[in-house]
């Protein structure tokens, strides 16, 4: 029997040692430990802090947000015990289903990176089924990210592109909330950088980066403004910010329009994630 305890929130170094494909693992732990107000979540760990798990709720769906076991402590059943403890907590919160899948807007990854073989083996051995795939695209930030000609063209059409500093994004955040959803609005508010386009005081589109360490997104253009090239400019402005911050590459997370990003900035699909779920049996 492995005791599972509430986890200290300084588990970043454990995550770094365990999640070798993710240089920003400590920052991801910090992100998960500061979710939107009202989120139900927990972090659990083994007594020696050689394993940690984060879990959260979204409606009646439970999420395993992060699982990390120190490489030197594997094959002792720690991962299985941590998932079991997380599932017990999720059931107590009213979860009808558990998922190894991101819980927007505050998540680490869309699912399990296909290269983390032990995590896939664990999920499938516990009865989780793979139900979806998602992907991130990577952008090389060493290239030309200028967009002066596009900015001039938009200006001739009465469209201005501006930066929205932190603390001065209320209008942009409200635009995002009305056009899309609350989760994107929270990310835009939390982002390290944000740009938006407007015409005659009306916001047409936005793009942001850094709500998740090193990642670009979310971004969106109002339907009435699509086809004007607003999205390409906003994307490039954000990527230029990331390059100026010292990043050599950026990830575009949980991508939908692959063709748009490939054409606009030469992005390539690089990380693929499998999403898993398991229905909880009703207890009579």
Task: Convert the pLDDT of each residue in 197-245 to its tens digit.
Answer: 999 999 999 999 999 888 999 999 999 888 999 999 999 999 999 999 9
pLDDT surpasses 80 at 74: yes
Q: Span 147-162, mean pLDDT? A: 95
Q: Span 247-268, mean pLDDT? A: 94
Output the CA–CA distances (angstroms, integers) from residue 104 to 169, 183, 186, 250, in the order listed.
20, 6, 10, 19
CATH number, span 5-133+275-279: 3.40.630.30
Q: Span 87-109, mean pLDDT? A: 96
**Per-residue pLDDT tens digits for 8-56:** 657 888 988 999 999 889 999 999 999 999 999 999 999 888 999 999 9
pLDDT surpasses 90 at 63: yes
Phi, psi of 97 (to 5 degrees): -155, 145
Q: Considering the chain, what is the average pLDDT of its residues?
A: 93
Output the CA–CA distances (angstroms, integers) from residue 93 to 56, 59, 223, 277, in the order listed.
9, 10, 38, 17
Q: Judge if 5-133+275-279 and 143-247 fold alike in CATH terms.
A: yes
Q: Is 27 left (phi over 0), alpha (psi -120 to 50) or beta?
A: alpha
pLDDT category at 6 given cuts 50, 70, 90 is low
Q: Span 60-79, mean pLDDT? A: 93
- Which residue ranges make up each domain of the chain? 5-133+275-279, 143-247
**Listed ranges 21-25, 74-78, 134-138; the one with the highest mean pLDDT:** 134-138
Pairing of strands 112-113, 193-199: unpaired
Output the CA–CA distances (angstroms, integers) from residue 33 to 83, 107, 108, 201, 264, in the order listed.
18, 10, 11, 37, 34
In the chain, pLDDT over 90 holds for what percent of residues?
84
pLDDT surpasses 80 at 3: no
pLDDT surpasses 50 at 284: no
> Up-side HSE of residue 128: CA atoms within 13 Å toward CB?
28
Higher pLDDT: 9 or 145? It is 145
Domain 143-247, CATH 2.40.30.30 — does that match? no
Question: Considering the entire predicted model, what is its pTM?
Answer: 0.90
Do 197 and 160 touch, CB atoms closer than 8 A? Answer: yes
């Amino acid at each position: 029997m492995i005791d599972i305890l509430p986890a200290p929130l300084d588990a970043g170094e454990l995550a770094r040692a365990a999640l070798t494909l993710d240089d920003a693992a400590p920052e991801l732990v910090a992100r998960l430990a500061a979710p939107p107000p009202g989120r139900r979540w927990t972090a659990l760990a083994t007594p020696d802090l050689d394993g940690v798990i984060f879990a959260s709720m979204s409606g009646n769906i439970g999420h395993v947000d992060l699982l990390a076991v120190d490489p030197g402590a594997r094959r002792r059943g720690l991962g299985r015990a941590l998932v079991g403890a997380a599932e017990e907590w999720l059931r107590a919160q009213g979860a009808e289903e558990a998922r190894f899948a991101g819980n927007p807007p505050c998540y680490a990854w869309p699912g399990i990176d296909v290269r983390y073989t032990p995590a896939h083996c664990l999920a499938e051995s516990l009865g989780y089924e793979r139900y979806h795939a998602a992907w991130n695209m990577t952008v090389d930030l060493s290239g030309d990210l200028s967009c002066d000609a596009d900015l001039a063209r938009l200006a001739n059409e009465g469209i201005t592109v501006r930066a929205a500093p932190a603390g001065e994004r209320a209008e942009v955040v409200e635009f995002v909330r009305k056009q899309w959803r609350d989760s994107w609005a929270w990310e835009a508010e939390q982002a390290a950088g944000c740009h938006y386009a407007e015409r005659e005081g009306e916001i047409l589109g936005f793009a942001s980066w850094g709500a998740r360490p090193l990642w670009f997104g979310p971004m969106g253009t109002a339907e009435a403004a699509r086809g004007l090239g607003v999205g390409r400019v906003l994307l490039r402005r954000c990527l230029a910010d990331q390059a100026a911050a010292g990043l050599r590459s950026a990830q575009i997370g949980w991508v939908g329009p692959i063709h748009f990003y490939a054409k606009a900035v030469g992005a390539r699909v690089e990380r693929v994630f499998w999403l898993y779920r398991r229905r909880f049996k009703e207890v009579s």
